[in-house]
Every structure is written in structure tokens, then in C-alpha cells.
Structure 1
């Protein structure tokens, strides 16, 4: 068994030809750029490429397979120079039983099964080429199709105020939409952590995943997990999510929830913090609010906490959040230490001080030790480090 760094939610911005996939994604987010950046710069061992259902993305994968740059693993997934690529698709459902749209993540084991899934989706959506599109079927139908193809089904960023399971999707429980036995894990999102999510008893049975939801190369691995597996493959990932046969998630690395864009409740008009949900904004008087994840979880709370032992949730501060750490200094760190994973996890403080200013090095070290203070984010605006 070995431990691997894994980020399962990375979007495609454009195809090789320049066609848009994730419209809000960076143009540099092509499949080829993603796999190189994730392996060589970020230091990840396994990634989930969302939007793999897009036909031109599938074509690019096939071209790289024919060129010998990718290999199909017999246990599922593609391999790129030691890094595993899991083929995924983020989709949106919105049926009569829901209060609003819900995003879900569907992962398939092979290029062939993703091709079959793409052809099936084309009959249930308006534009097969784009990311996060609405599928005009029930959640249960989608779950069953994913399972029919041997896939993994995970509700995405489940607490964010918009387009999520608990944000505005269901009133109280995921059983209003999904079959509990056909869910393989829960993606927490940037504004919550394990302790917060475990206040919902119905989530206790599932592994929690922490992913970047990257819309640019820089955002890859802003959240990730360390997973113990025999090898980086689709079937090993499936076993790890089930905590089966000695496999499992050994640590979640995610933003301190205060750094997330939707942690606290704010005024929808001026984004001023409003500590009393439902009352007029003290700054502008508006009664319109964007409910924070922390408040929403308190509404849904059904448990004091999970009695089962969870892997540690380590509040990770991505290097791009570190004050004073600009692109040139970051490039200098990469030249000396290789990958962001190395800087975040293993490079000693004294070694950092030899390459970058002491104050910045100390801030990185404090971030690794959980010793920083934050100004909480909300309403779509990230929190900030105040130290």
C-alpha cells in the first residue's frame, strides 16, 4: 500500500481546438495542460478530469493514447507518466422534488464507458460539449445509469448556497432526491470541513472528499486528499471510498472554511456581514441575504457529531493565498523544491528561508501548523489571511 495525493474535481476550460467547455474556466485549462501541470508543478498522483464527457475532450484523450503519451490501466483510469487520470463529468439536475438545481460528479472507469455515457447524455441535455449542463432526468435515473456503467456517484460541493444538494436543492435530506445506497462519497466544498458536515447524521456513512473545483491551472490542488491504495487506479479509488480492504482516505486537505467564498451569511446587495440571518442589513438596510454555509448547516443539524473515526481534516492554505507570495517568488520555490506538494508538506522552514524572504517563509510555516487568523468570506468573496 502507498499514499497518494488526489484532486478529483478539475474542469476543462477549452478543447485542443479552442472550443469552450467550462465557459467560466481559463482558456489554458486544456486537457494536455492540466495533466502536465497537475503532475509536474502541483505534484499530484491522481486527478479527476471533470467534463470528460465532452466529445472533443474524449477525442484528445484518444489521440494521446494512440501517440503513446497515455495508457489505459487494466483496473480503470488513464495513466500519464505515473499519474492516474480519472474520467469524470459534473452534471446538474433540477426536478420537481427539488427546490433548486443540484450538481453531481459522475466518474467512469474507462474511455469506452465514458464514451457510452456521453452518447446517453446527449439524449438528455441541450449541449453535450459544455460543462455542468442540466440533464433532464431524475436524480435516481442518473444514479442508476452511472452504476450500470460501473461508475462512482458523488454529490458535488454539497453546502454551497447555489446549485448544491443542501444549499437550495433539498429541504432537509438527500433522500428527497437520491438513493442513499447509490452514493459513493460526499464532496464538502470550500466553505465547510469534516467537523461541520458531520453534524448531519445521514452523512456519517460516507467518505468525505475535498477537491479543488479548479477553474484555472493555479487553482488545481487548492483542496485535495491523501488516499492509501495499492496503486492509483479507478478500482482502487472505489475501494478507498468504501474504506475497504485496507484502502481509505487518510487525510483531507482543504481551506479553512473561513477562507471559502460562502462561509458566512452576508447581505446580497452590499456583501456586508450580517450576523443575524433574516434581519435587515446594518449597512444598507436590505433584507436580501446570501445564507452562509455555517448557518445552513445549523438549520440542518441532526447530530452532535460522528462517533466513527474520521481521517484528519487539515486546514490547508494554498500558496496563492499567502500574502506577498507572487508569481515570481512562487516560480522560485518551484525551481528549488519541484512541486507545490513538496513546499506544502515537506520542505523545512530553514530551507524556505534560504530561497524566499523570512516573513513569507514563516507565514507558510504558520499555515502548515494552523496558526493563522482569517477574515471569513461570504457571498462569493474569498476570506483573507489577517496575520
Structure 2
């Protein structure tokens, strides 16, 4: 068995020709750049590209296959430059059963299966070229189609206040919209963790995945999981999600949920933290209040006995470390090869030789859980500082 570092939610901002796929994605978030960055800078082994339904993305992948640069793996998935790619699609459903829009992730084992899925989608959405578009079928109909093609179905960032299952899509239960038996896992999102999610009993039936939802290269790997697999492939991923044949999720790695953009309920105008009962901001009077993830989970909590889970390990992405800019990061990468090595394994003494001691102190404090955090909310990330600084 091998330990496979996996991030299953990465967007394509632009195709090789410059055509937009994820409108809010970075222009340099191309397939080739993602593969290079994921492998050589982030240290990932398997990635989910969730815009593969886009016809121009499919054409680009066909070109790489014809050139011999990309190959279809026997166990499902594609391989290029040592990285395994799981072809996926992020879609938005908003049918009569939904309270609001919900984003979901659909993964398929082969490029041919994704081509068939793309053709099916093209008659059920307005712009097949773009990512995260609304599909005009029910959630259950979409689930059945994914299963018909041998795929995996995973609700995305399930607590995010905008466009997620619990954040906007259902009142109390996922069964209002989906067939529970056709869900393979749920994606937690940046503002929650395992302990928080397990307050909801109906989630105990599913494994949790933690992914970056990267809209830029720098965001790759900010959340990921380590899987124990025989090899990096679609079939092995499916076995890990089902806990079959010794395959498993070893650990989930994610940001401390306090750093997430939607953890706390805040005023969307002045960002003052608000209590559960406040319908308007007491500071500025603004009346638009979006419930934070922590409050929403508390509202749905069933206070049941929690199941055994893989450990959820908090990590602080390097972009949150004060003073750690691109030039400093380049120095660190020259010595330690990948960001995961820097975050989790680089000896403090060597860090302090390469970068200013204060930055080394931050990395060490983050690794040991000795950072204090300001809480994120209302679309703004939290921030970090060393506890002694607060004194």
C-alpha cells in the first residue's frame, strides 16, 4: 500500500487557448500549470479536476493523449507527468425540492465516460463550456446518471452559506433533495471540520473529504487527504471511500475552521460578529445577515454519539504566515522541495537558517498548534498571530 496525497477539487481558470472555464478562476490556472504546480510545489499525488465536462477541456486532454503526454490508467483516472487526474465536474442544482442552489461534485472513471456525461449535460444546461453551471434536472436524476456512468457523487463544501447542501439547499435533511444511498462522500469545506460535522447524525453514514476548491495555483493543497491505496487510480479512490480491501482515508488535513471565510455569522457590511438572534447589525444597522457555518451546524445538531473517524489535522497554509512572500517561499522550496515538507516536516533550525527567525517561529507555532486566530466570516478569511504577540 502507498500513502497518496489527494486534493479532489481543483478548478481550471482558462484552457490552453485562453478560453474561460471558471470565470472567477485565475488566468494562469491552466491544466498544464495545475499538474506542474501540484506535483513539484505542492507535493500532491492525485488531483480531481472538476471542470472536465467543458468541451474545450476535453479537446485539450485528447490532444495530450494523442501526443503521448497523457494516458488512461487501467484502474481509472488519467496520468500525466506522474500525477493521477480524476476527471470531474462541479454542477449546480436548484430544483423544486431545493431551498436554494447546491453545488455537487461528479467524478467519472474515464475520459470517454466524461465525454458521454458532457453530451448529456449539454442538453440540460445553458453554457456547457463553463464551470459550476446550473443543470436543469433534479438532484436525484443527476445522481442516477452519475451512477449509470460508474461515477462518484459528492455534495460540495456542504456548509458554505452560498450554494451548498446545508448552507442554502435544504431545511433540515439531505434526503429532501438527494437519494442518501447514492452519495459516496461529503466535502466539508474550509469553515468546518470533522468534529463540527459529526454533530449531524445523518452524516455519520458518509466519509468526509477535505479539498482546496482552488481558484488559483496558490490555493492548491490548502486542504487535502492522505489515502492508503495500492495505486493512485479511480478504482482505488472508490475503495478508499467505501473502506474496502484495506484501502482507507488515513487523515484529513484542513485549515482550522476559524480561518474559513464563512465560519462566523457577521454583518456583511461592517463585518461585526453577530449573535444568533440579531436580524440587523447593532453597529451599522445593516439588515443583510448571512448565517455562519458554526451557527448553522449548531442549528442542525442532533447531539448523537460520534463515530470513529480518521484524524482531522489542522494546518495553516503558508499564505497565512505574515511576511512570507513569494521570494521567501522560493528560498524554502529550493531547499525543501514542496510546501507540504515546509508545513509539516522541515526542521526549525534549518528553517531559521533560510528565512527570518520570525517566519520560522510562525511555521513552528502553526505546526504545534500554538497560533492564535482571528475568526473569519462574511467572505473574509481569518488571520493568525503568535500567542505571545497578543500579550
Secondary structure of 2:34's aligned partner: helix
Aligned to 2:107: 107
Q: Provide the TM-score with structure 1 as the length reference.
A: 0.98
1:371 Cα deviation (Å)?
Answer: 1.5
Using the alignment, how far apart are the partners of 1:339 and 1:269 within structure 2? 38
Aligned to 2:7: 7
Using the alignment, how far apart are the partners of 2:196 and 2:188 within structure 1? 9
1:333 Cα deviation (Å)?
Answer: 0.7
Aligned to 1:84: 84
Secondary structure of 1:62's aligned partner: helix
Aligned to 1:189: 189
Query: What pairs with 1:198-217 in structure 2 (closer than 5 Å)?
Result: 198-217=198-217
Q: Is the 8 A contact 2:276 2:295 kept in 1?
A: no
Does residue 338 (structure 1) correspond to residue 340 (structure 2)? The answer is: no
Aligned to 2:374: 375
Using the alignment, how far apart are the partners of 2:18 and 2:240 within structure 1? 36
Does residue 243 (structure 1) correspond to residue 235 (structure 2)? The answer is: no
Using the alignment, how far apart are the partners of 1:197 and 1:276 within structure 2? 19
Q: Is the 8 A contact 1:373 1:385 kept in 2?
A: yes
Query: What pairs with 1:137-216 in structure 2 (closer than 5 Å)?
Result: 137-216=137-216
Secondary structure of 2:252's aligned partner: strand
Aligned to 1:65: 65
1:275 Cα deviation (Å)?
Answer: 2.8
* Alignment length (residue pairs): 386
Q: Which runs of 5+ in 1 are unaligned?
A: none
Aligned to 2:319: 320
Q: Deviation per CA, 1:78-111, whole angstroms, max 9, x where unpaired?
A: 1123221100100000011111000000000000
Using the alignment, how far apart are the partners of 2:135 and 2:280 within structure 1? 37
Q: Is the 8 A contact 2:35 2:81 kept in 1?
A: no
Using the alignment, how far apart are the partners of 2:120 and 2:140 within structure 1? 15
Q: Is the 8 A contact 1:265 1:277 kept in 2?
A: no
Using the alignment, how far apart are the partners of 2:277 and 2:183 within structure 1? 32
Using the alignment, how far apart are the partners of 2:383 and 2:363 within structure 1? 14
1:288 Cα deviation (Å)?
Answer: 2.4
1:366 Cα deviation (Å)?
Answer: 1.2
After alignment, is 59-68 or 247-256 more displaced?
A: 59-68
Using the alignment, how far apart are the partners of 2:105 and 2:338 within structure 1? 27
Q: Provide the TM-score with structure 2 as the length reference.
A: 0.97
Q: Is the 8 A contact 2:193 2:312 kept in 1?
A: yes
Aligned to 1:360: 359
Q: Is the 8 A contact 1:225 1:252 kept in 2?
A: yes
1:265 Cα deviation (Å)?
Answer: 0.3
Using the alignment, how far apart are the partners of 1:259 and 1:236 within structure 2? 32
Q: Which runs of 5+ in 2 are unaligned?
A: 387-391
* Aligned-CA RMSD value: 1.0
Aligned to 2:273: 273
Residues 325 and 305 of structure 1: CA distance in aligned 2, closer, same or farther (over 3 Å): farther
Using the alignment, how far apart are the partners of 1:241 and 1:291 within structure 2? 30
1:279 Cα deviation (Å)?
Answer: 4.0
After alignment, is 74-83 or 9-18 more displaced?
A: 74-83
Secondary structure of 2:3's aligned partner: strand
1:276 Cα deviation (Å)?
Answer: 3.8
